[in-house]
Amino acid sequence: MATEAILQRLITNPERLKDLVDKAKDVALQSGMVIRTKEKPNSSEVVTYYPFSLFPTPVPKAAFLQALAVQTHFNTLVDKISQDPDFLEEALASTIQADDFTAKLFDIYRHVQQEGRTQPIVVGLLRSDYMLDQGECRTSSLKQIEINTISVAGFGVIDRVPEVHRYVLRSVGLLGESECVPDNNVTPKMCAALVKTWELYGQKKAVILFLFEDVQTSIINHRCMEKELCNRNIPVIRRKFEDVSRRGSLDDDKKLFVDGLEVAVVYYRTGYMPNHYTEQAWDARLMMERSLAVKLPDIGTQLAGTKKVQQVLSKPGVLEKFFPDQPRVVERIRATFAGLYTLDMGLEGDKTVEMALAAPDQFVLKPQREGGGNNIYGSDICQVLQQVKESTERTAYILMDKIQPTPVQNYMLRRDFPLQISNCDSELGVFGVYVRQGKDTVMNECVGHLLRTKSSEVSEGGLTTGICVVDSPLLL
Q: Are residues 156 and 251 in the same domain?
A: yes
- Residue 72 has what DSSP assignment? H
Residues in CB range of 264: below 8 A, 6 or more apart? 197, 198, 201, 203, 206, 207, 208, 293, 294
Q: Are residues 437 and 425 in the same domain?
A: yes
Query: Of the candidates 361, 383, 402, which is a domain's last residue?
Result: 402
Q: Are residues 94 and 169 in the same domain?
A: yes
Question: How far, in Å, CA of 233 to CA of 139, rounded?
Answer: 50
Q: Are residues 55 and 174 in the same domain?
A: yes
Question: How far, in Å, CA of 52 to CA of 161, rounded?
Answer: 8
Residues in CB range of 377: below 8 A, 6 or more apart? 360, 361, 364, 365, 402, 459, 460
349: domain CATH number is 3.30.1490.50
Q: Are residues 187 and 239 in the same domain?
A: yes
> How many other β-carbons are positioned within 10 Å of the β-carbon of residue 2?
12
Q: What is the pLDDT of residue 404?
A: 93
Q: Are residues 304 and 205 in the same domain?
A: yes
Q: Are residues 343 and 316 in the same domain?
A: no
Residues in the chain: 476
Helices (H), 325-472: 327-334, 347-358, 379-388
Strand 261-268 and strand 294-296: pairing?
parallel
Give the domain extent around 366: 339-402
Question: How far, in Å, CA of 343 to CA of 389, rounded?
Answer: 9
Q: What is the pLDDT of residue 136?
A: 61
Beta strands in 275-405 (DSSP E): 294-296, 340-341, 363-367, 376-377, 397-401
Query: Of the candidates 374, 402, 430, which is a domain's last residue?
Result: 402
Residues in CB range of 344: below 8 A, 6 or more apart? 94, 395
Q: What is the pLDDT of residue 416?
A: 86
CB 451 within 8 A of CB 164: no
Q: Are residues 197 and 228 in the same domain?
A: yes
CB 411 within 8 A of CB 21: yes
Q: Give the total number of structural domains in the chain.
A: 2
Question: How far, in Å, CA of 470 to CA of 429, rounded?
Answer: 11
Beta strands in 234-287 (DSSP E): 236-239, 248-250, 256-258, 261-268
Q: Are residues 116 and 200 in the same domain?
A: yes
- Residue 51 has what DSSP assignment? P
Q: What is the CA radius of gyration of the chain?
A: 22
Query: Of the candidates 383, 402, 421, which is a domain's last residue?
Result: 402
The pTM of the whole model exceeds 0.85: yes
Q: Are residues 152 and 211 in the same domain?
A: yes
The secondary structure element, H or E, covering residue 373 is none
Mean pLDDT per 10-residue section of the chain, whose length is 476 residues: 77 90 97 88 87 97 98 98 97 96 97 92 97 77 96 84 97 96 94 96 96 78 87 95 97 97 96 95 98 97 97 98 97 98 97 97 94 88 96 96 95 92 96 97 97 88 72 96
Question: How far, in Å, CA of 476 to CA of 474, rounded?
Answer: 6
Q: Are residues 263 and 205 in the same domain?
A: yes
Q: Are residues 421 and 433 in the same domain?
A: yes
